[in-house]
Amino acid sequence: MVIGLILLSAAVLAIDSRLRTALVAYASFTAATLWLAFPHPSTPAEIAFVATLSILKLVVGPLAIVMLVRRYQVSEDLAPSLGLAWRLLIVVVTLAAAHAIRQMTALNDIPSAGVVFYAVFASMMIVVLHRNLLAHVIGLLMLGSAITLAGAVFAPDLPGAIELAGTFDAVIATLLALSIARALLAFDPRLDIRSLRELRG
């Protein structure tokens, strides 16, 4: 059920281009990954950690995006860079890639390895498939959730691993991405990356 929600919400994020739908799908994705990563937080420290991450990821992140949209009249169209058929195909390929990774001998003894890699691929997919920078912010937020999930699935007994992943999630994904997106608004209120093609790496 939880894994199904992760698969579905990531697919919706890739296929649908409306910001509102994307935010709902993102919230479902994040809630599901948090649930999978911390099914039964028991100690006060664990509960505090999960609560902080939940507030940051499910309240602060989406709220900041909504505020950016309302205050600066940012376009709510996430501007897909490929047609619907191609996006659907990429979702299927991503699912197949995650399934193939799950079948690797190396990851046989890790039950949710496939979901972790799907979550990472999905966050990349959102970035690649949309031209609106807000989609890229959502992609980074999803990457943060995927990393937290990776910490919980791959190294639950490693001291500090999950906390480290959570901090990465909070600082890099949320703070940095939103700051730069906010600064870029001065040049293009639509936040379309087509206006950011001066540099050719």
Partner 1 sequence: MIAVTVAVAAPFGAALLSMLPSQLPVRRIVGSVLAVIAVALALGALPQLDPLSALCVTLISVLSLLATLYSVSVFPPVELEATPWSGRRAYFVLLGAFWSSMLIAVTSTSFIGLWIGISATTLATTFLVGFSGGKAALEAAWKYLMLCSFGIAIALIGIFLLGHAALTAHLAPAVALSWDTVARNGGRLSPELARVALLLMLLGFGTKAGLVPMHSWLPDAHSKAPAAISALLSGLLVSCALYAIVRVQHVAAVVAPALFNDALLVLGSLSILVAATLMLAQRDIKRLLSYSTVEHAGLVAIALGLGTPLGEFAAIYHILTHAFTKSLAFLAVGVVQQERGTTTIGKLHGLWNDASGKFLLAALVGLTGLPPFGIFVSELLIVLAAAAAHQWAALACAVTGLLIAFIALARLAIDTESGTRVARSGEHRRRRAAFLVLGCATAVALLLAVIPFVSPIANGRALTLALGLR
Nearer to partner 1, 24 or 124 (CB): 124
Contact between 29 and 142 under an 8 Å Cβ cutoff? The reply is yes
d(CA 113, CA 99): 9
Least separation, in Å, of the C-beta of 66 and partner 1?
21
Nearer to partner 1, 88 or 101 (CB): 101
Site stretch for partner 1 (CB under 8 A), options 34-42, 62-70, 90-98, 140-148: 140-148
Least separation, in Å, of the C-beta of 139 and partner 1?
8
Q: Which two tokens stand for residue 155?
A: 């190294």
Using the structure block, give the residue that is written with the tokens 């600082």: 171
Using the structure block, give the residue that is written with the tokens 């901090």: 167
Q: Does 173 bind partner 1 (CB under 8 A)?
A: yes
Cα 37 → chain centroid = 15
| Residue of 35, 124, 190, 192 that binds partner 1 (CB under 8 A) | 124
Residues present in the chain in total: 201
Site stretch for partner 1 (CB under 8 A), options 18-26, 48-56, 74-82, 133-141: 133-141
Least separation, in Å, of the C-beta of 118 and partner 1?
13
Q: Does 168 bind partner 1 (CB under 8 A)?
A: yes
Q: In this structure, which long-range contacts are made by residues 8-11, counting pairs with CB atoms below 8 Å and at least 24 apart in sequence?
A: 10/91, 10/94, 10/118, 10/119, 10/122, 10/125, 10/126, 10/142, 11/91
Q: Which two tokens stand for residue 58?
A: 């499910």
Which residues of the shown chain bind partner 1 in the complex (CB under 8 A)?
104-107, 109-110, 116, 120, 124, 127, 133, 136, 140, 143, 146-147, 150-151, 154-155, 157-161, 164-165, 168, 171-173, 176-177, 179-181, 183-184, 186-187, 196, 198-199, 201
